[in-house]
Amino acid sequence: MTLLLNSFPVDVAPVEALLPYIDYDSWEMSTSAKKSQFNAYHTWRYEMAKEESGLSENRIRMVFLGGPQVPPESNQTAFDLGRFWRIGCIFIEDALSMHFSKLGFATEQSSFERLALRRYTGSPDDALELATGLSFSARRPFREDKYRFTLTFQWIVRAMFKDSLINESLAGIALGMPVMYRPNAAIPLGLLDFKNRYLGRVRSVDSAGKTAAVMCRDDEPRTVPLRDLRLEASPPVIKLYEQRVRSRPGPSHILRTIQQLKMSFTKDNRRNVTAFRDRLDEIRKSLYQAGSSRDQLVVPLASFQSGSVSIALTPIEATFGDTW
């Protein structure tokens, strides 16, 4: 039995990258430098073994993968992507994110994946914006094949409320609801890690002061301007919105549209028995459209090291024995 996977082979060239770095004597000092001096840079850090650091007490190395310019106080050395495979993964994700951004996609990054999204123009409700696109992450699956990487893709659909909680109708259903933090001005230090992410649940709304009390996911209560908060467009919140704000009883037309865009259901609202194949076809179609070849997509590195990432556009196959 042969199965097509939603993963694609990737090669990175060159396999040895000449990159700047700065060494620090603790994770805390490197974190402080990252936030205060190098927030605009793409970096990766690791703890050196004694054999690598030598007599130096500085054991934490911050490697600069890309940014405005090479930090003048940095040194440079070569990093083998077989040993430092995580740098190779970041190279791949950064290069593809930059390529999609140039093609007009909105790109985002989380701790686990990258996103490339385009607005869907057929939303059934003008208060919600729908987007479709790809999530992707790079891996080096086998230590023995140390320079061979893979990209795993998912077809995704995202719903987002267009208005913040400044909208009185949305603020009226916000109590106890999950919210996203989408700041419109300078971000307080304690909220930097929450930018464009799930923040927590609303405890109270002060309409006069135009703020909300939020119990954040780090278990800290915070007061946040309503303009910086948006309801998380999860199925329960969408259903509540339709019932309380739009006075729509019965099945949700918005959720049905989302399920159809996810290809979980067909256009006639039947369960899609070929959903995986259809999603994989959409992934391949997006990759074809991102390049000029149906065989591979080649994009330049977005790094201080010049080079390229080559993505084969034929999915990896998994073959199982007859006992399966």
| Residues 196 and 219 reside in one and the same domain | yes
Confidence bin at 324 (pLDDT 50/70/90): very low
Domain of residue 213, CATH code: 2.30.30.140
Per-residue pLDDT, 317? 84
| Mean pLDDT for the chain overall | 92
| Residues 54 and 196 reside in one and the same domain | no
35, pLDDT greater than 90: no
| Residues 102 and 69 reside in one and the same domain | no
List Cβ neighbours of 41 (8 Å cut-off, separation of 6 or more).
Answer: 34, 64, 65, 66, 67, 68, 71
Q: 76-131 pLDDT, tens per residue?
A: 999 999 999 999 999 999 999 999 999 999 999 887 899 999 999 999 999 999 99
Cis peptide before 14 (omega within 30 of 0): yes
Q: 36-58 pLDDT, tens per residue?
A: 999 899 999 999 988 888 878 89
| Residues 135 and 185 reside in one and the same domain | no
Cα 182 from chain centre: 15
The residue among 36, 46, 33, 31 whose CA lies nearest residue 74 is 33
Domain boundary among 36, 67, 82: 82
List Cβ neighbours of 164 (8 Å cut-off, separation of 6 or more).
Answer: 170, 182, 184, 226, 227, 228, 229, 230
Instruction: Confirm whether 321 is domain-assigned.
Output: no
Confidence bin at 2 (pLDDT 50/70/90): low
Instruction: Confirm whether 320 is domain-assigned.
Output: no
- Count structural domains, the chain: 3
Instruction: Confirm whether 171 is domain-assigned.
Output: no
138-153 as b/e, with b when 16 or more CB fall inside 10 Å?
bebeeeeeeeebbbbb
Q: What is the DSSP letter of 194?
A: G
| Residues 125 and 264 reside in one and the same domain | yes
Q: Is 188 exposed, middle or buried (0-12, 13-18, 19+ CB in 10 A)?
A: exposed
| Residues 194 and 54 reside in one and the same domain | no
Domain boundary among 82, 103, 129: 82
Instruction: Confirm whether 7 is domain-assigned.
Output: no
269, pLDDT greater than 90: no
Domain boundary among 82, 104, 125: 82
Instruction: Confirm whether 55 is domain-assigned.
Output: yes
Instruction: Confirm whether 18 is domain-assigned.
Output: yes
311, pLDDT greater than 70: yes
How much of the chain exceeds pLDDT 90, in percent?
A: 79
- Amino acid letter, residue 269: N
Q: 208-239 pLDDT, tens per residue?
A: 889 999 999 999 999 999 999 999 999 999 99
Q: 286-300 pLDDT, tens per residue?
A: 998 888 788 899 999
The residue range of the domain holding 201 is: 178-231
255, pLDDT greater than 80: yes
Cα 37 from chain centre: 24
Per-residue pLDDT, 321? 59
| Residues 146 and 31 reside in one and the same domain | no
Q: 175-192 pLDDT, tens per residue?
A: 999 999 999 988 988 898
